[in-house]
């Protein structure tokens, strides 16, 4: 008799699709349910209100005009012109041409040039400071030139 009660209950309350699992699973997975459900819209509105309130509190309490700028004294040291690294090229150049180019590129003065500078020629690609360049030329040409700013 219990079976008859159950069958009678199901027969009395049965509607097509009422006990089907497929549509329920689709709704749970998001297949047919739109993303704009009332609960989600309410949650988004509440989140926006909280963020707006937080932002206005922060702006009110921490205005940029209220912040005093920090001042820092910085000492700038200048690098002597003779120590600035530059690139310079010579191709079968006479010593007077080399000295003129060093003066032009590095902005330094070269002195103690040999008495007959036209006898010296130089081919060189160099990257470095004027002091190092003149030292290298002295080693190559066996001279004793010096540099001042």
Domain-embedded: residue 45:
yes
Q: What is the domain extent for residue 143?
A: 81-148
Indicate the pLDDT class of residue 35, thresholds 50, 70 and 90: low
Domain-embedded: residue 17:
yes
Range 56-77 average pLDDT: 73
Burial class (CB in 10 A: 0-12, 13-18, 19+), 17: exposed
User: What is the helix (H) or strand (E) element at residue 139, kind and residue range?
Assistant: helix 130-141
Q: For residues 141 and 86, state if they share a domain.
A: yes
Domain-embedded: residue 52:
yes
Domain-embedded: residue 97:
yes
Domain-embedded: residue 101:
yes
Residue 56 has pLDDT above 60, yes or no: yes
Pick 127 or 22 by higher pLDDT: 127
Q: For residues 87 and 142, state if they share a domain.
A: yes
CA distances (Å), origin 114, targets 14, 106, 142? 117, 20, 10
Q: For residues 15 and 45, state if they share a domain.
A: yes
Q: Are 90 and 123 in contact (CB under 8 A)?
A: yes
pLDDT tens column, 71-118: 887 777 777 877 788 888 888 888 899 899 988 888 899 988 888 888
- Cα(63)–Cα(60) distance, integer angstroms: 6
Q: For residues 55 and 91, state if they share a domain.
A: no
Q: For residues 26 and 55, state if they share a domain.
A: yes
User: What is the helix (H) or strand (E) element at residue 25, kind and residue range?
Assistant: helix 21-29
Q: For residues 85 and 135, state if they share a domain.
A: yes
> What pLDDT, on the 0 to 100 scale, is given for residue 40?
80
Residue 66 has pLDDT above 70, yes or no: no
Domain-embedded: residue 54:
yes
* pTM reported for the whole predicted model: 0.47
> Of 89, 141, 138, 91, whose CA–CA distance to 110 is shortest?
138
Q: For residues 52 and 7, state if they share a domain.
A: yes
Q: Give the chain's domain count.
A: 2
Domain-embedded: residue 136:
yes
- Percentage of residues in the chain with pLDDT exceeding 90? 2
> What pLDDT, on the 0 to 100 scale, is given for residue 9?
76
User: What is the helix (H) or strand (E) element at residue 148, kind and residue range?
Assistant: strand 146-148
Domain-embedded: residue 141:
yes
pLDDT tens column, 126-143: 888 888 888 988 888 888
Q: Are 129 and 105 in contact (CB under 8 A)?
A: no
């Amino acid at each position: 008799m219990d079976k008859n009660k159950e069958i009678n209950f199901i027969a009395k309350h049965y509607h097509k699709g009422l006990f089907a699992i497929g549509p329920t699973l689709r709704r749970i997975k998001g297949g047919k349910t739109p993303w704009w459900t009332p609960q989600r819209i309410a949650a988004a509105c509440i989140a926006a209100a909280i963020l707006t309130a937080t932002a206005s509190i922060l702006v009110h309490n921490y205005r940029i005009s209220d912040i005093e700028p920090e001042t820092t004294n910085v000492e700038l040291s200048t690098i002597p012109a003779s120590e600035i690294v530059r690139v310079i090229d010579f191709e079968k150049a006479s010593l007077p041409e080399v000295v003129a180019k060093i003066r032009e590129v590095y902005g330094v003065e070269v002195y103690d040039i040999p008495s007959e500078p036209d006898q010296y020629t130089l081919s060189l690609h160099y990257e470095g400071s004027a002091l190092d360049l003149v030292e290298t030329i002295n080693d190559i040409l066996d001279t004793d030139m010096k540099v001042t700013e």
